[in-house]
Amino acid sequence: MKFRGIRRIRETASCLLVLCCKQRKRYAEELAASRVLKHSSESANGKCGENLAWASYDQPGKDVADRWYSEIKNYSFQHPGFSSGTGHFTAMVWKSTKKMGVGKASASDGSTFVVARYDPPGNVVNPGYYEENVLPPRK
């Protein structure tokens, strides 16, 4: 699955290694089999960051990335921090994240599940972390 433009033209774009991983695909297949969108135990334990997506159709990776990235419109660079409405975006652009793996699977009804995992994870709610890791777009 091609996942181009994940971090767009930003301060962090050159340092990200994007991988299509069997482990992420396996988890996407588990989600597709159960048709339940839920975060993995690895994500819940803080071992990785994780974005999930579901659609009733075969969603292209670019559409998923664009949907997650579009949360930028709800993010306040003047008052940085976590918000449930911007977590996909902030995970995508988190400066200290060095690796991202992506997997995609289809359910028997034609719906698709996408799993993206980030290492090290972003969205760390510690003082100053959002200011250091979620930078405004380059002009």
Q: What is the pLDDT of residues 65-108, one digit of tens each?
A: 999 999 999 999 999 999 999 999 999 999 999 888 899 999 99
Sequence-distant (≥ 6) Cβ neighbours of residue 92 within 8 angstroms: 6, 7, 51, 65, 68, 69, 116
pTM: 0.85
Q: Partners of 114 in the beta sheet? A: 53, 104
User: Which residue is associated with the tokens 């400066």?
Assistant: 95
Query: What percentage of the chain exceeds 70 in pLDDT?
Result: 86
Report the alpha-carbon distance of residue 131 to residue 77 in Å, rounded.
Answer: 8
Q: Which domains does the chain have, with CATH numbers?
A: 5-133 (3.40.33.10)
Phi, psi of 108 (to 5 degrees): -65, -20
Quick one: how far is CA 99 from the chain centroid? 11
Report the alpha-carbon distance of residue 90 to residue 75 in Å, rounded.
Answer: 9
